Structure 1
Amino acid sequence: MSMLDWSFVTLLSSALLFFLFALFSVALSIMTRRKLRPLKKRPPKNKRKRKQFILKRRKFEKQVKRQRNSGIILFVLMLMTTGGAFYTRHYQMNNLNANDSESIVQSYYLLDEVELQLSNIKNNENPQKSIKNLRELSLSLSSYGARRAYQGLTEEGQILLNRHFILLKELGTNLSSQTVDSLGNTDTMEGYQKDVKKVKDSQKKVFKRFKVNEAALKSKK
């Protein structure tokens, strides 16, 4: 379980405990009020009994006030922890976890590098070195086929992310068998450049959905 999973479970469990303690305080308050009810009548005239009567009534009044305040505090704590638990869950469902975030960042740089190597081959700039680099990159992209989006995300988020991982895998698998000669064919080269663009379009959707700061990624290149 991730830290957010533990936070959600802890907050929800705390909310349940606070709720039970609040109910217990309310129940005690009701019981004390019942004990206090007979003491609401006029105190006895006997001085000693009158003093005991008043002391007992004040004692129960203080208990009722203390139990009522405890119930209110516990209820407020229950609301706060419940709100915290649901906020944590909402955050989990709509934000990338550490593993998915790392995968998206790595694939961002891989795609840029693939695009660069294809451009070098197209422009005949040290094509042998570029094809070697391209094969290494394609292996990294192919590994995305084994990745699955975090199941705590919304169904829509999981589908979007898994579809992007599949596109990355397919691009890597297709590129792995290419040679300088095959990529020297204009149609083949244009086809792969279109494939890269397709994956980058998918990447933009992922960035938009999960609010990934592309400018920050560019600045780290």
Structure 2
Amino acid sequence: MKKRKMLIKKQKISFRFFLLLLFLTGLFAGATSYLSYYQAMNLTTNDSDSVVKGYYLLRDFEQQLAVAKEKGDNEEKMQKNIRYLATAMASYGTKTASTINSKEGQLTLNRYYNAIKQVGMNASTQTKNFYGNAQIVDSFLEDIEKVKVYEKAAFTYYKVDETAFSEEK
């Protein structure tokens, strides 16, 4: 009788221990799943830096084109500024979205990076032609609007607050 009571007591303790371990396993599995989801749906530090830099490069390039169209500044200075911005945008060809992101997020960011790269590469071959040439400038402004569509898609997917960028300027 005594052995039986001890056995039942051990069984109860083992059952409680099993329930505790089951609860802790579920808790850790849930936390791991959430962290994985969080990482996939939020920008990594490198991607965040690239998106911010791309945002400002695109806006600065757009401003320089507008000034070049109106012949608002020294031609040599404008060429130098546009060349710098075009080269910086063309360097986006080396950027790829982090593999931590979801596949859809990677695709969205890579499209954005590629669009910036294409505008930068095209602009770097035209740096001497922008000054006072409204037709080329307008063509590039259209390309910039296309890039902004990809930018908007990336901002929407990753829930980036664009107003925060405007406030920093």
TM-score by length of 1: 0.70
Q: Give the conservation status (yes or no) of the 8 Å contact 2:129–2:136.
A: no
Partner of 1:114: 61
Using a 3 Å threshold, how does the CA distance of structure 1 residues 99 and 123 change in structure 2: closer, same or farther? same
Structure 1: stretches of 5+ with no match in the other structure: 1-38, 40-52
- Which of 179, 203, 207 lines up with 2:155 in the alignment? 207
Q: Which has the higher contact order (CA 8 A, sep 6+)?
A: 2
Aligned-residue CA RMSD (Å): 1.7
Query: Separation in 1 of the partners of 2:81 and 2:125?
Result: 13
Q: CA deviation at 1:155?
A: 2.2
Q: Indicate the residue corresponding to 2:84 in structure 1.
A: 136
| Match of residue 218 from structure 1 | 166
Which of 49, 52, 55 is residue 102 of structure 1 equivalent to?
Answer: 49
Structure 2 residue identity aligned to 1:167? A
* Deviates most, 137-146 or 121-130: 121-130
Answer whether contact 2:86 2:121 (CA < 8 A) is retained. yes
Letter in 2 for 1:77: L
**Helix, strand or coil: the match of 1:184?**
coil
Residues 110-137 of structure 1: per-residue CA shift (max 9 Å, x gap): 1111111111111222143222111111
1:160 aligns with 2:125: no
Distance 2:61 2:36 in 1: 36
Query: CA offset at residue 215 of structure 1?
Result: 1.2
Q: Percent identity?
A: 35
How far apart in 2 are the matches of 1:183 and 1:82?
60
Structure showing greater radius of gyration is 1
CA deviation profile, 1:71-93 (whole Å, cap 9, x unmatched): 11110110011111111222222
Total equivalences in the alignment: 168
Cα distance, 1:214 vs structure 2: 1.0
After superposition, residues 175-214 of structure 1 pair within 5 angstroms as 175-214=123-162
Is the 1:121–1:180 Cα contact (8 Å) retained in structure 2?
A: no
119-128 or 191-200, larger mean C-alpha shift: 119-128
Corresponding letter in the other structure for 2:53: Q
Query: Match of 2:66, as an amino acid?
Result: S
Gaps (5+ residues) in structure 2? none
